[in-house]
Amino acid sequence: MAKFWPEANDAERSRVADRYRFYYRGADETPSTLFPGARELVDWLLQRDYLLAVATGKNRRSFDPILGDTGLADRFTSPGAPMRPAPSLIRKCCCNSWMSWE
């Protein structure tokens, strides 16, 4: 946050970060939904032995409830890599799925 708000002091940045966490993680209880046909597509891919993975910049604590809302959590693997823009996220997905990174 210091990069985007350099004139703020630590207390100000901390206060804004706390508010963000409150609203992003706690205040909005609207469950996540899928686009029409998404569940059927996921099932179709799994029936054809595709390995489905999640590659996101969100941390597991933030993302797991979102995927859980959809009822599809057991259909995906997630490598649990550092947050973006680290390319290790995609590399780890490839390695976890026995795919070559090259």
pLDDT given at position 45: 95
Is this structure's pTM higher than 0.75? no
Distance of CA 74 to the CA centre of its chain: 15
Contact 68, 31 (CB under 8 A): no
Distance (Å, whole) CA 26 – CA 66 = 12
Could you give the percent of the chain with pLDDT greater than 90? 16
Q: Mean pLDDT, to the nearest integer, of 14-26?
A: 78
pLDDT given at position 42: 95
Looking at the predicted structure, is the pLDDT value of residue 61 above 70? yes
Looking at the predicted structure, is the pLDDT value of residue 26 above 70? no
Could you give the percent of the chain with pLDDT greater than 70? 67
Q: Give the residue carrying structure tokens 């909005």.
A: 28
Average pLDDT, the chain: 77
Q: Mean pLDDT, to the nearest integer, of 39-55?
A: 91
